[in-house]
């Protein structure tokens, strides 16, 4: 890159930024699981179709991850309702 842009000084906070982003990424799964467990507890262990859609669209959790965390299968009509 130096050939294109010339020499540039080392970006000293780069490692810190990568570390912070890695920690955020790493904690995402446990955070998602905690949110879903709270939602399940609130709804007596069940997720309505509206809950699935809200979790996917608002929290950004994919349907497969919801199913895995909640130990349920993805509703057959989920994607049809979203469309």
Task: Provide the domain count of the chain.
Answer: 1
In tens digits, the chain (83 residues) has pLDDT values of 678 888 877 777 888 888 999 998 888 888 888 999 999 999 998 899 999 999 999 988 999 999 998 888 999 999 999 98
Residue 3 lies in a domain: no
Could you give the CA distance from residue 59 to residue 35 in angstroms, rounded to a whole number?
9
Residue 5 lies in a domain: no
Residue 45 lies in a domain: yes
Could you give the CA distance from residue 29 to residue 54 in angstroms, rounded to a whole number?
17
Could you give the CA distance from residue 33 to residue 69 in angstroms, rounded to a whole number?
6
Question: For the whole model, what pTM was predicted?
Answer: 0.66
Residue 56 lies in a domain: yes
Domain boundaries, position 20:
12-82
How many other CB atoms sit within 10 Å of the CB of residue 70?
Answer: 19
- 10 Å CB burial of residue 74 (0-12, 13-18, 19+) is middle
Residue 26 lies in a domain: yes
């Amino acid at each position: 890159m130096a050939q294109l842009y010339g020499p540039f000084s080392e970006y000293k906070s780069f490692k810190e930024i990568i570390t912070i982003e890695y920690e955020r990424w790493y904690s995402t799964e446990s955070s998602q699981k905690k949110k879903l467990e709270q939602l399940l507890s609130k709804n007596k262990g069940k997720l309505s179709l509206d809950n699935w859609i809200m979790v996917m669209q608002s929290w950004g959790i994919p349907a497969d991850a919801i199913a895995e965390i909640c130990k349920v299968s993805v509703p057959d009509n989920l994607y049809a309702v979203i469309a």
